[in-house]
């Protein structure tokens, strides 16, 4: 049975292509520095747009050391929150009145429910 088995490579395990004649893209090493002096070095392609800030491994924001500080303009509209949309429909005074009414209603239903529980416990 073993003389009839197929022999070969595992599919997808290794590439049959060689890297002969392949030139890697030109790169540049860019330095960023945090306010506390931590240095961050990042490798970019020559053609890449270099961001003005970079997040370090420690979670701090690092600024570009030797380069143009481009102002990144957002072409997107700012995100509208629920609060922004609510303020488009009602004033703050209206909202305070509605809140007061809802709290009063909630407190009366809670006190009625507590009274019903106490009456059921006595019975």
Q: What is the mean pLDDT of the chain?
A: 85
Distance, in Å, from the CA atom of 33 to the CA atom of 6, rounded to the nearest integer, reads: 57
User: Which H/E stretch holds residue 12?
Assistant: none
Q: Give the distance from CA 26 to its chain's centroid.
A: 30
Bridge partner residues of 43 (DSSP): 29
Report the pLDDT averaged over residues 17-42: 89
Nearest partner of 64 among 36, 108, 37, 33, judged by Cα: 33
Q: What local confidence, expressed as pLDDT, does residue 72 receive?
A: 60
Q: What local confidence, expressed as pLDDT, does residue 91 receive?
A: 94
Dig out the tokens for 53 from the structure. Answer: 């800030």
Who wins on pLDDT, 4 or 32?
A: 32
Q: What are phi and psi of 97, to 5 degrees?
A: -65, -45
Residue with tokens 């090493």: 29
The lowest-confidence range among 14-18, 20-24, 42-46, 60-64 is 14-18
Bridge partner residues of 39 (DSSP): 33
Dig out the tokens for 106 from the structure. Answer: 């909630």
- pLDDT tens-digit profile of 32-49? 999 998 999 999 999 988
């Amino acid at each position: 049975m073993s003389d009839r088995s197929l022999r070969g490579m595992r599919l997808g395990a290794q590439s049959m292509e060689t890297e002969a004649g392949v030139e890697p893209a030109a790169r540049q090493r860019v330095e960023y520095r945090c306010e506390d002096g931590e240095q961050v070095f990042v490798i970019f392609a020559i053609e890449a747009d270099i961001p003005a800030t970079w997040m370090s491994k420690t979670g701090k924001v690092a600024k570009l050391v030797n380069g143009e500080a481009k102002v990144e303009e957002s072409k997107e509209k700012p995100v509208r929150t629920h609060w922004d949309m609510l303020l488009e429909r009602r004033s703050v005074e209206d909202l305070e009145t509605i809140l007061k009414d809802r709290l009063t209603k909630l407190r009366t239903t809670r006190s009625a429910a507590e009274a019903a529980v106490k009456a059921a416990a006595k019975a």
